[in-house]
Amino acid sequence: MNASNTLDPGLLDELADVAEASGCQLLDCELKGTVLRLTIDRPEGVTIDDCQVVSRQTSALLDVADFGSGRYLLEVSSPGLDRKLYNDEDYDRYLGSKVRISWRDPDVNNKKTTVGILETFDRTQKEVALKDVSTGESLTISLKQIDSARLEPEF
């Protein structure tokens, strides 16, 4: 899980437990200014009801934990159609899907963005292989080179 550096690790664990108790996984937790944004997921997809349940339970937890010194806005959402790929499980789960990967090419030392089909994910080598949809070229990219990876919605 990605997490804001300003949140207490113990609180992050409790937030993850709240999501898990609701049948969800906490993918991301971000505190920007006075906005606390939680991104949750579940294998069958996130519903509005899931977001409401996690929001209510999180709000109660934050009240007891005496979170923050003033007002804050709590947002709980799904990862969306163009969801970010957060972890190894996401790379495995979305094999065969169209993805948009922004990465640093070490050969030319610049940033590139490639839209392609995620063909393989090697957990041992920590790299992905994808086929560029515009050129047909196959690429292998180390996770260390990836700045962001997202699903590319197909309509």
What is residue 18's predicted lDDT score, i.e. its pLDDT? 97
Instruction: Tell me the domains of the chain and their CATH numbers.
Output: 2-77 (3.30.300.70), 88-151 (2.30.30.520)
Question: How far is residue 145's CA from residue 63's CA, in Å, rounded to a whole number?
Answer: 40
How much is the pLDDT for 1?
56
Mean pLDDT for the chain overall: 92
For residue 136, the SS3 value is: coil
Which tens digits make up the pLDDT trace of 111-151?
999 999 999 999 999 999 999 999 999 999 999 999 999 99
